[in-house]
Structure 1
Amino acid sequence: MVHHKLDMGEEFEEPYTLIAVHCGEEEYKLAYLMNQHLNTRFQRRRIDIDFPSEGMMVTFPIFDFLDEFNYSQFYLVANKCRIVEASLQSSGGLFSEIGSEKDHFLLSEFKKVDYFLKIYSDFENVSLQSLVSQINNIEQIVSAYVVETDTIKSKNNLIFD
């Protein structure tokens, strides 16, 4: 039997840059610090990113900023979401509740990364070396570096629109 393969052309993928950020601060504090030091205006979206995982909806907070002058879109998103699963256990008391914490990751191959900064740019107006240097100069940030997007297995989790 002859098999036919339908080729729809190359997959269209918009070019983007991904910067990994290691920081122990809460997401709103990191957005505030970046707004102060990078002259950005990150604002939290009304709706977080959510994914179904193991029968639950896991949500990741996201902040975005549109730089109209440089034709660039910035997204700041948390990589880790901690969920506390409550379970009742009989231990002699009237009610006893034990909660177990479980971490879920936006990009599971980068479990040590706290946040990702995703940058769409129509032109090469954003100087990555300068931007990463400015991010690393923020006192509360441990480190920031550019991630090779070819190595990411779960690229679909980075589609925010």
Structure 2
Amino acid sequence: MAVHKLILDDSFDEVLYTLIALHCRLEDYRLAYLLNKYLGITLSRKATDLDYNNGQVSYSIYEWEDEKQLITWSLVSNICKTEELQQTNNTSLFDNQEKITKTFQLLPEYKTVNYFLKIDSEFSFSKEKYILDSILKIPQIATAYSVDSSQLKSKDNLIFN
């Protein structure tokens, strides 16, 4: 019996998308409103957040599907802070519990980024520059820049569906 070996190219494995990192101190709903205003899009909060680590870590996500151009826009937070109570081992009269705040990132390679704007389409350089320039016109955003998604180690975290 002959053995048939199939070799699949990884070319279909890569999904084309544009990823923009946003640095700002805004709440997620306020940032979504400003992006809607300046970019002419309609981001709205999804019913459920992105959950990781069995629901212990969640990231807010806003999404808009442009049905005319068949493009999906997603705004997702990169930082999640959780509080835990930790019992101390002091033998004292009173039980001491300390609150410990743990910080998790959706993309650990970019620890300082507050939000990511993922656009499920690869734009030309001029269109991407126009989007970045429009975002940088928002006074509350400190900076925004494109991220090369091929260099990401944790790109699987960007699969939202």
Match of 2:57 in 1: 58
- Tell me the secondary structure at the aligned position of residue 121 of structure 1: coil
Cα distance, 1:57 vs. partner?
2.1
- Tell me the TM-score normalised to structure 1 length: 0.86
Residue 9 of structure 1 aligns to which amino acid in structure 2? D
Report the counterpart of residue 75 of structure 1 in structure 2: 74
The alpha carbon displacement at 1:96 in A equals 4.1
Residues 136-151 of structure 1 correspond to what in structure 2 (within 5 A)? Answer: 136-151=136-151
Task: Give the whole-Å Cα distance in 1 for the aligned partners of 2:104 and 2:5.
Answer: 37
| CA RMSD in angstroms, aligned pairs only | 2.4
Note closer, same or farther for the CA distance 1:81–1:5 as it changes in structure 2 (3 Å cut). Answer: farther
- C-alpha deviation, 1:5, in angstroms: 7.0
Gaps of at least 5 residues in structure 1 are none
Instruction: Tell me the residue number matched to 1:40.
Output: 41
Residue by residue, what CA displacement relative to the aligned partner does 1:23-66 show, whole Å, maximum 9, x if unpaired? 111111111111122211111111111111xx762111110011
TM-score, normalised by the number of residues in structure 2? 0.86
- Higher helix fraction (1 or 2): 2
Instruction: Choose between structure 1 and 2: higher strand proportion.
Output: 1
* Residue correspondence of structure 1 range 78-89 to structure 2 within 5 A: 78-89=77-88
Residue 14 of structure 1 and its aligned partner are, at CA, apart by: 1.6
2: CA distance, partners of 1:87 / 1:144: 37
Q: Deviations over 1:50-100 (max 9, x none)?
A: 111xx7621111100112233211000001101111124468575543211
**Structure-2 residue corresponding to 1:99:** 99
Distance 1:97 1:133, change over 3 A: same
Q: How far, CA to CA, are the matches of 2:129 and 2:102 in structure 1?
A: 35
Q: Is the 8 A contact 1:71 1:123 kept in 2?
A: no
Contact 2:18-2:122 at 8 Å conserved across structures: no
The answer as to 2:149 corresponding to 1:156 is: no
Misfit runs of 4+, over 6 Å: none
Q: Report the more deviating stretch, 92-101 or 143-152.
A: 92-101
